[in-house]
Chains A and B, each alone.
Chain A
Amino acid sequence: MSDNGILDLRGVLCPINWVKTKLALEELPQGEILEVIIDDGEPMRNVPRSAKEDGHRVLKVRPEGEGAYRLTIQRGA
């Protein structure tokens, strides 16, 4: 995790990117926000879906430079 609270997972492969996201979300109180940056392609297919399956909520999806996306995820119950 960087100083500004953004988890930059560019270059991190599935499923390690989700493992890191999951652990970071578990550190947060319910309702708090986590921002993660993941690569397009397989990470974008898997990480948002896993977040939903775990009861979290993806609030926003924005492009982050070339071939990556920034997800705003709210920690679920």
Chain B
Amino acid sequence: MHITVRQSIEVPYVHYQHFDDIGQELAQIGWSVASCGPRIRVPTACAGCSYNPNGLMDTQALCAEIDRRYFGTETAHHKFKISLSGCPIDCFRTREMDLGFQGMMEPELDEVLCNGCTLCVKACEEKALTMEGELPRRDLSKCNYCGDCVKVCPVDAMLVRRRGWLARVGGRHGKHPLYAYEVAQFISDEQACALIEKTLAWYREKGRGRERIGGVFARLGLSSYLGDVVKPLGLEAIEDPADRRRYWTGGNSYE
């Protein structure tokens, strides 16, 4: 037995003639056989807000919904992996997925409540906050929406302006890994599902042979996808590469 990276239980060396019997036995205890081939694989997610204090969005709820709606859907080309992380620490590696959703939160300061304690400035690993007189000032171009400033504020002066999902598309691992592009931000659960459906339709139409969606981007360009899928859905698209840079530290092979 082996627990796969997608948290499935793998049983090797099953004789193919026993496969249907085993499937039926598993069904009796409410288990299903995982998908393989050119289909949407089982979505994975971190434990989310239920016990992790970093969690910003309910990963388990959306993951269960994605599993219910899209698990096993045919893609016509290749595998399609989806994962969810509750915060920018990204334990579930949304950058390496065909489609990934990561929780994000935009803070907003209530200047009346703020007592100038400086703890939010200390908490911010992005150095997006600096003290200007008695108040913290935010450089929104550096903020990666992790919510740490909100979580530390002892007088609840750092408010949540909005929260949602950061959508990443086009990642994969394997012999020729690709890191996904951030394509939309602050989207809701329903918008995430709409994005899955429209992305899949686009991939079915534009993909060639055994091509992953990241390969389609390499061939047609990301702007084609943004124009065909993200913008028609009315999502807050991320179009400027400079707006993606806040989510990166550098490293190998990212343009």
Which A residues are within 8 Å of any B CB, using their own CB? 40, 44-45, 48-49, 52-53, 57-61
Contacts and interface: CB of A to CB of B under 8 A. Distances in A.
A44 B153 CA distance: 12
B154 A45 contact: no
B152 A49 contact: yes
B119 interface: yes
B118 A61 contact: yes
Given A40-B122, A57-B154, A58-B154, A49 B148 contact: yes
Given A44-B122, A45-B125, A61-B117, 15 more contacts: A45-B122, A45-B123, A48-B122, A49-B53, A49-B123, A49-B148, A49-B152, A52-B152, A52-B153, A53-B53, A53-B151, A57-B154, A58-B154, A60-B117, A61-B118
A52 B151 contact: yes
Contacts of B117: 58, 60-61
A53 B150 CA distance: 12
Q: Which 10 A-B pairs have the closest CB atoms?
A: A58-B154, A44-B122, A49-B152, A61-B117, A48-B119, A45-B123, A48-B152, A49-B151, A57-B154, A53-B53
A72 B74 CA distance: 58
- Most chain A C-beta atoms within 10 Å of own C-beta, residue among B122, B123, B125: B122
Contacts of A53: 53, 151
Contacts of B151: 49, 52-53
B150 to A, nearest CB: 10
B123 to A, nearest CB: 5
Interface residues of B, number: 12
Interface in B95-154: 117-119, 122-123, 125, 148, 151-154
A4 B148 CA distance: 32
Nearest to A51: B154
Contacts of B148: 45, 49
A58 B157 CA distance: 13
Interface string B29-58: 000000000000000000000000100000
A41 to B, nearest CB: 8
A53 B151 CA distance: 8
A67 to B, nearest CB: 12
Contacts of B53: 49, 53
A40 B119 CA distance: 11
Contacts of A45: 122-123, 125, 148, 152
Nearest to A43: B122
B160 to A, nearest CB: 15
Contact of A52 (B118, B122, B125, B154): B154
9 contacts: A44-B119, A44-B122, A45-B122, A45-B123, A45-B152, A48-B123, A49-B151, A53-B151, A57-B154
A58 B125 CA distance: 20
A55 B54 CA distance: 16
A59 to B, nearest CB: 7
Nearest to B123: A45
A49 B119 CA distance: 9
